[in-house]
Amino acid sequence: MHAQIVLFEGFDPLDVIAPYEVLWAGGNASGGALTVELVSAEGPRTVVSGSGGLTLRATATLDPARADLIVVPGASGPLGHDDAEGEIGGDTIPALLARTVGTALPALLREALARPAVTVATVCGGSLALAMAGLLEGRRAVTHHLGMDLLGATGAIPIAARIVDDGDLISAGGVTSGLDLGLYLLERFLGPRIARAVEVLFEYERRGTVWRDCGLAAVAG
């Protein structure tokens, strides 16, 4: 199994590194059943994050034909507010995410979602990046709690959970949920023994219940 984690200008480093380390450790624990790499829509290059100019190196091009799993991070930067003219000022998180719509990334992610063998996962604002590109209409997803209203405004169905499993789309909430996402992906694709081995190695246990559209619905009141 091969995983690609996407870098774009302004990405949040923890959204990338947390799932990368978990998936990489799972690959080691499984004897190489999972490999992982950092990619960008534009190919191998150094990509600047939204956290103080920290950079990471994409070593390959995002390729839905080669990946079994694609992980999309959110952005890092000031939250900001609309200015007097209604324009988002500066490199705010919404502006950074919206900027991805004008790159080659949305088309590649659309291709990935159209491939039955590919699973797309997101961390924090990664689901918003997909939603802003019109890729999540009618899909159940979660993002950082501050972005849930925006997620719903795009036509997605916001679910208040740490991890939301909507089949070939798996989304995680705020930045630290990247650890939980990585461990859930290990459990789902490699099994609970590999996920547990990485939990023990990292001295971290997953938080919350993974939401899936199954079972009884809770009764209000």
Q: Say how far apart CA 23 and CA 69 lie, in whole Å.
A: 11
- CA dist 41 → 6, 64, 65, 71 (Å): 8, 11, 13, 13
Q: What is the mean pLDDT of residues 115-123?
A: 98
Say which residue, 83 or 71, is predicted with more confidence. Answer: 71
Number of residues that this document lists for the chain: 221
Beta bridge partners of 39: 6, 60
Centroid of chain to Cα 189: 16
Q: Is 140 helix (H, G, I), strand (E, B) or coil?
A: strand
Do the beta carbons of residue 50 and residue 73 sit within 8 Å? no
Q: Which residues lie below 8 Å from residue 91, measured CB to CB, with a gap of 6+? A: 10, 50, 77, 78
Q: What pTM was estimated for this model as a whole?
A: 0.93
- Whether the pLDDT of residue 81 is over 50: the answer is no
Q: Please tell me the predicted confidence (pLDDT) of residue 86.
A: 35
For 181, residues 6+ apart whose C-beta sits below 8 A from its C-beta are 18, 19, 71, 121, 123, 163, 170, 172
Q: How confident is the model at residue 32 (pLDDT cuts 50, 70, 90)?
A: very high
| Closest C-alpha to 11, from 74, 80, 53 | 74
pLDDT at 67 over 70: yes
Q: How confident is the model at residue 220 (pLDDT cuts 50, 70, 90)?
A: confident
Q: Checking phi first, is residue 171 left (phi over 0); if not, alpha (psi -120 to 50) or beta?
A: beta
**Overall average pLDDT of the 29-44 stretch:** 98
Chain-centre distance for alpha carbon 221: 34
Helices and strands (H and E) in the chain: how many: 7, 12
Token digits of residue 109: 């992610």
What's the pLDDT tens digit per position in 160-181? 999 999 999 999 999 899 999 9
User: Quick one: tokens of 144?
Assistant: 């950082």
The confidence band for 80, taking pLDDT boundaries of 50, 70 and 90, is: low
Q: Compute the half-sphere exposure of residue 34: CA atoms within 13 Å on the CB side of its CA.
A: 29
DSSP 120: E
Split at pLDDT 50, 70, 90, the class of 77 is confident
Mean pLDDT, residues 90-115 taken together? 92
Give the C-alpha separation, 106 to 108, whole Å: 5
157 pLDDT above the threshold of 70: yes
Determine the pLDDT at residue 88: 35
Judged by DSSP in three states, 135 sits in: coil
Return the percentage of the chain with pLDDT > 70, whole number: 94
- Give catalytic residues, as residue numbers: 124
